[in-house]
Amino acid sequence: MEILIIGAGPAGLTAALSLHQAGFRPRVYEAVSRPAPLGVGINLLPHAVRELAELGLLDDLRRLGVETNELVYLSKHGKPIWREARGLAAGYKWPQISIHRGELQMLLLRKTVERLGEENVLLGHTLADLETSDQGVTAHFVQRATGESLGARKADVLIGADGIHSAVRRKFYPNEGPPNFSGATLWRATVEAPPFLGGRAMVWAGHSRQKLVAYPIRHDPATGKTLINWICELRGDSTRTPPKEDWNKPGNKADFLPAFASWRFPEIDTPALVEATEQVFEFPMVDRDPLPRWTFGRATLMGDAAHPMFPIGSNGATQGLLDARVFSYHLATAGSIDEALARYESERRTATTRIVMTNRANGPDQVMELVEQRAPHPDDDLDARVPFEERKAIADEYKRITGFDPKVLNERMSYTVLPGSNAGGDRS
């Protein structure tokens, strides 16, 4: 079976590794000629780490990242709102790992090349056009810099895992337009700094109009320093999506730092963290509307190409990895390609649509908004105005919606299918 994967991001590469594990030999096409470890930090929740562990990558993830063991929500005054154990400390069979996105992508790329061979990872190939039918697909590629044709490739099935600006999605929905802008701008960066709250905690502080996020993504035993990923978020009045060319542009500290001048919490001094950072990146918080359909003939969507969501609750990358594993499972176990595509879309489109809409309503961060609305002053009685059970219900419901309730995840069947095995029969 000829399988084409458009995009060598985390979702596309996880799909390649999963399909290879199941006995297929897909081919990956990536527009970038020389991938580099770009970006900042991301969180891999236990249901994502489980899937990568089943691909044999857990030791690598532990070596490159940090095993998160706690989530802490704070008010804008630094007052504790909610804290919960995470990963192994919360009873999961798999850890939660915070990692540099570029390091994760390069790890997945190395493993894909090792297992599939260099001939099946084609860099510098931009998808120019796509023809799809009930029998297969034809993909046309060009060189990004020159527009020179790199030929066409026929296949039985194609996966569009080419991100929020997906060429595959645009082929199916040519009039969709730019992503939806929330009005919030994120300034993101990494910086070496002393560890805080034990060195393995994620911190969320503030409310929907102003927020700080900080968590470690790498420890250096030699120096004792920790690489901290931080995000400063401000919501403005504009709802017009910035041009694509302005995404990930160098940020100006003067545009946001004054708003955070007083955000000095125990062990987390926001102004000091920002001032110690050399390079800051700015980009809009965006998503896209859920789609009524992902699959057209023998082509389908995956990851941010299918369901880009606001970065709330650490679910963007995780859901893309789940897409990849579910797709591979169904392609290996269904009676036909068309049945596999239908099963994949049925399982994943409904689930991710719910998450996109939940994130638009603040997801688990809603607990911070309730505190801002009902107990905005540092001496307000938090327990009286936002009872513990209400806060717990928000956290539990988000886990249920996004698929990482500990009991459910620990007992769910495995998506691993090995050639010649009884598909789906094992648990891990």
Residue 246: count of CB within 10 angstroms of its CB:
11
Closest to 58 measured CA to CA, from 20, 115, 24, 99: 99
Closest to 368 measured CA to CA, from 274, 225, 233, 278: 233
Instruction: Give the pLDDT mean for 181-187.
Output: 93
The string of pLDDT tens digits covering residues 18-40 is 999 999 999 999 999 988 888 89
Report DSSP letters for 82-118, one per residue: EEEE-GGGGT-SS-EEEEEHHHHHHHHHHHHHHHH-G
Q: Is the pLDDT of residue 110 over 50?
A: yes
Name beta bridge partners: 27.
Answer: 4
d(Cα 403, Cα 397) in Å, to the nearest integer? 10
d(Cα 283, Cα 250) in Å, to the nearest integer? 9
Q: Is 235 exposed, middle or buried (0-12, 13-18, 19+ CB in 10 A)?
A: middle
For residue 343, name the pLDDT band (cuts at 50, 70, 90): very high
Query: Quick one: tokens of 248?
Result: 């990930």
What are the φ/ψ torsions at residue 81 (nearest 5 degrees)?
A: -105, -45
For residue 426, name the pLDDT band (cuts at 50, 70, 90): very low
State residue 235's pLDDT score: 93
Closest to 307 measured CA to CA, from 178, 166, 172, 194: 166
Sign of CA dihedral 247, 248, 249, 253: positive
Residue 401 contacts residue 355 (beta carbons within 8 Å):
yes
Residue 164 contacts residue 288 (beta carbons within 8 Å):
yes
Instruction: Give the pLDDT mean for 358-383.
Output: 96
| Average pLDDT value over all residues in the chain | 94
Residue 6 CA neighbour count, 13 Å, CB half:
34
Distance from chain centroid for Cα 27: 22
For residue 425, name the pLDDT band (cuts at 50, 70, 90): very low
Q: How many residues does the chain have?
A: 428
Instruction: Give the pLDDT mean for 301-313.
Output: 96
Residue 148: count of CB within 10 angstroms of its CB:
9
Residue 225: count of CB within 10 angstroms of its CB:
15
State residue 427's pLDDT score: 28
For residue 103, name the pLDDT band (cuts at 50, 70, 90): very high
Instruction: Give the pLDDT mean for 124-140.
Output: 95
d(Cα 111, Cα 13) in Å, to the nearest integer? 9
For residue 314, name the pLDDT band (cuts at 50, 70, 90): confident
What global pTM score does this model have?
0.95
Report DSSP letters for 353-375, one per residue: HHHHHHHHTTGGGHHHHHHHHH-
Q: Is the pLDDT of residue 196 over 70?
A: yes
Instruction: Give the pLDDT mean for 273-292.
Output: 95
